[in-house]
Structure 1
Amino acid sequence: MRILAKNVLESAKTILLILLVLCSIVLSGIVWTGTPTEMTVGRSHFFSSPLYGRERLVSDFVKPQAIWVWTKDNELFRLSGESATAQGIFQSLQGAHMRYAHLITNKRFTVPPMGPYIALDFGHLLADGSLWSYAFPTLHTNENWSVQGWVYLVPEVSSEDWSVYFQTSQGIDHLLLSGVANTLRSALIPNDQYVPYAQLAYDHKLFNLPYDALSMRSQTWILEDPSPMPIVNSFFRDPSLIQTVQVNRGMTVYTDGMHVVQLSRELLGFKLNYCAPQVPLAHYGETMENALTTAVPFLDSHGGFVGNEVLERVSSGKKLDPVALSFRDEVEGWPLYSQLNQIQVQLINGSVSHVTRLLSYLQSEVAQQRVTILSGSQLLQILQTMHLHQIHSITLGYGTELQTLNEVQVVPVYQIKMSRHTLYLNAQTGQPFQGMGM
């Protein structure tokens, strides 16, 4: 009896062992066939909302802030960069043949020389010379001229060529320009696109100011306040990893543990501040070209541009400071002095580290009226009564003021930059103007 029970137990153990082996084989097959393949969590690139802004090219931002024309009759005119004549000048320069002539070290030679000329005001864009290839793509040279002031185009008397003059720390550089005779010579003849200006003296300095009491447009625009989340999401590779922190009723912080977006509710709408992971500053000396070619594609894929933004300045400050870029908008070729459509970007080690922008923007014009602004001489009389001195520049443009919660008035203003502060005057009345972001 014991022997029979022992045989049954051994048989049961054998059957159980066989079942365990079979289960092991089946489970091994399941594990083998079910091994997960390599997967990418999140997105391989940042999200961009096509409903907010539009993409721009780097070359869009390397253009003169204004074009000045001095005719053979000794008359000065300002030409808007948006005018058809200005566009013709830009296109002719893109295909013109340009070659280097020589460096003028004679201190008696000054720019601009006598006679008619076209002056291109690039602001500070050519300060380090790295953006020359965008401004004049047909000029093949290894030189990176640091331009101080305007670039002058002067017609040659004895030929169809033009001379190009600009001031550098070494002296006055002279280039020869050919293949643009008809376009540039026709630009020396004023038409209704030209704004008459005059060189007027104030406090021992000459300023280019409107010759007459100009007629400009005062406009009313609808202020668009877009949904912020598509733009917020564009700063994160995987929105599902975003953690939300409600700081207070008007401020929310979004983070994935590395990138941070702070969204604050202000009077005009949402203001966005982006901060990348902090890293030590490993090197410095970013050129304007490097900064611009990094910042523009980044902004293209993080909301884009909503107006006619131009590059206002690029600054690096001290050697160990980040590189800062500032973009501002234009209205009909005139600068817009407002916090609307302003974008500030910082770069560290060749990468974008901070972005600050107000998401609200001017969507559509709903009303306008023509207003007569002060001439240059009338403006200087007002400045004289205000006892203003140490003025660096006077520029005509537009300012903004909030009319209702979704309507903005765009009015002509004069910007007066002084050594310690900047003053804005209503160009129609001459009264101090306290607009948005001023």
Structure 2
Amino acid sequence: MNAKKEVKKVVLAYSGGLDTSVIVPWLKENYNCEVICYCADVGQAEELENLEERAKQQGASKIIKLDLREEFCKDYLWPLIKSGAVYERKYLLGTSIARPLIAKKQVEIAWAEGADAVAHGCTGKGNDQVRFELAFTALDPRLKVIAPWREWNIQSREDALAYLAAHNLPAPTKNPSFFSRDRNLWHISHEGGNLEDANSEPHEDMFVLSSSPFAAPDEPETVEITFEQGEPVALNGVPTPPVKLVETLNALGGKHGIGRIDLVENRLVGMKSRGVYETPGGTILMFAHNELESITLDRETMHYKDVLAHKYSELVYFGLWFTPLREAMDAFFQSTQKVVTGSIKVKLYKGNMIVAGRQSPYSLYREEFATFGHSQVYDHTDAAGFIRLFGLPSKVQAMMKGLGEGIPPVPTEKIIRD
């Protein structure tokens, strides 16, 4: 391939994995440009080791590493919790929710470094290419976007390893398995390998963050989570910073086998794909938040919020974070959270979460109202008229059906009286 001259400097979203390890020398070879590697620390843990040495060895002029974990929690995970969004009944959007933050910082680095292009290592069959590029377009459409997987002739892991060998570059040693993984503070995903057979059970040695529910402790453990206006602020009564709070719940939930899902999902690009996700802390937080909303939100607000949560999950999954609709929906969700303050006790046991207590100064639940006994706010005899009015459409339908089958009409006065 002839060298391309139109790009002078590119910022590459760099993980240090096999794909981005190949992309650095490939960009230099095919675009004859300076390559700046950028790594966003959103909680990948040990995956971030020795990145600078590897990037320089592969030909990068520099590597910029940003600790984004706090911002990830406050500006992305907390809004996700407040929304209650779950994609296709199971997926807590662990990969999806991190992409807008990573892309946003990548654009900011491009501005600071005077780069005229950005690049990513997403494949041409996945969702992430859309998420990154929609963010780039929304934030700065002037930047050229380079997606090597849509240009090069590398088709497999073996091809990528051969490319590195031909350029006398070592292959990365992290994630030697054939699983495609994405990890951050919220979750870890697993795709590929034997998971491509939808009828194949995941191998236990694949899991990273959680133990099997069958091997979890035989004794339950209870954790109390305190929220203020929808945001988690304390564990067991102790104020806890966001990152530590999620990490603590990840360890606790993982210990008890919480947060594993096996999902065949509908990708944005049109195909179904299978993924196995581990989200121990996030699963506990979403569960506890829902329980707190159950006592603090009125019926109509909660039901309508559930409708919007479905749409919000699509916006996040489809990469439409930087849109007016998402901002407007966040404003709605934030308004609903004014009363979502209180504490929820959750008992963890072998993959299960059991509510062990709910309390809030804004609770709409009152024992004296809900009791089956006498209550000053509710008269049992009022229910008869309510049921008659509420059931009137059904009554009319039944009467019409009866008339259609030749049953004599019911006298008008009887309809009114009944």
Q: TM-score, normalised by structure 1?
A: 0.22
* Structure showing greater Rg: 1
Q: TM-score, normalised by structure 2?
A: 0.22
**Bigger helix fraction:** 2
